[in-house]
Amino acid sequence: MARRRRRKTNGSTGAIVLGILLLVLTVAIAGGFGFLYFKANNQVVLDETTLCPVTSPTSITAVLIDVSDPISPVTEKDLRNRFEELKDNIPVGGQIVIYELTDKAGKLNRVFIRCNPGSGEQADELISNPRFVQKRWEDGFDAPLQQIAERIGTGNSGDQSPILGGIQTINLEAFGMHDYAKLPKRLIVASDMIEHTSIFSMYRTGIAYDKFEASSAPQEFRTPLDNVAVEVWEFARPGASFSATDLSVFWARWLKANGASSTRFIQLQGVE
């Protein structure tokens, strides 16, 4: 009986396996490039000036600093520490706007407006340059805020202290854009909280809300603070004769009347 010849299948099987491996490798490479392309095209584009996403910031934090009169060294240190903590907690894409109070109602000095662009540690090495990202964060965000922190408490005395007007202006300028309507908003007021203008002055009337309501100030400075979380960093000036508790009660009532979503009062360390 004649022997059947064995088919030589090793070569053809190997070719098939190799082909499958090449196909899998091709699909994997294509998928990898596709993933990188998707990530690159979905990377947030930042405005070169504000460092904010060109679409919109993700949140807004506005700070009003009342440096119209001297504060004690202890209070100044506490204020700087809180400012540093605030800076470090601005989320990536979140905007921080800083104003200094002047003695003219509604006239503020805006000293900073930027978003946190993210540091090099938060950069994706696959689609960005961490060194460039770090330098952008340092030069455009961290260093300018450090400079502001260093000069806190060095303001000049003024004839008035229009805190109500300052809050109204911030609400219009920083929070008032239609595109920002649904964004998380936070207002921080660092001040002795002693309102003093020709329209209403606590130095003339004392901390009496009924006298405030009898003036034209409630209507003059009415401002809808809906969806705005307000935090007051309250400090006492050397020689001040007002109770921090009484001031907190007054401002909590006014903020509630104007629709603030929440209020928090922090009494800074220093002169009582």
More confident residue, 121 or 10: 121
Residue 1 counted as domain residue: no
Of 38, 15, 149, give the one whose Cα is nearest residue 83: 149
Q: Do 32 and 66 belong together in one domain?
A: no
Residue 2 counted as domain residue: no
Domain coverage including residue 187: 59-267
Report the domain count for the chain.
Answer: 2
Residues in a beta bridge with 101: 108
List C-alpha distances in Å: 27 to 32, 33, 250.
Answer: 8, 10, 67
Single-letter residue type at 90 = I
Q: Distance between CA atoms of 25 and 22, rounded to whole angstroms?
A: 5
Residue 66 counted as domain residue: yes
Q: Do 86 and 24 belong together in one domain?
A: no
Average pLDDT on 28-42 reads 47
CATH code, domain with 246: 3.40.50.410
Residue 47 counted as domain residue: no
Q: Do 172 and 204 belong together in one domain?
A: yes
Q: Do 72 and 38 belong together in one domain?
A: no
Tens digit of each residue's pLDDT (9 = 90 or more) over 168-178: 999 999 999 99
Q: Do 128 and 261 belong together in one domain?
A: yes
Q: Do 241 and 115 belong together in one domain?
A: yes
Residue 51 counted as domain residue: no
Q: Do 34 and 96 belong together in one domain?
A: no
Q: Distance between CA atoms of 262 and 231, rounded to whole angstroms?
A: 8
Tens digit of each residue's pLDDT (9 = 90 or more) over 106-147: 899 999 999 999 987 766 555 468 888 899 999 999 999 999
Contact status, residue 51 vs residue 140, Cβ threshold 8 Å? yes
List C-alpha distances in Å: 270 to 57, 235, 241, 249.
Answer: 35, 7, 14, 20
Q: Do 209 and 252 belong together in one domain?
A: yes
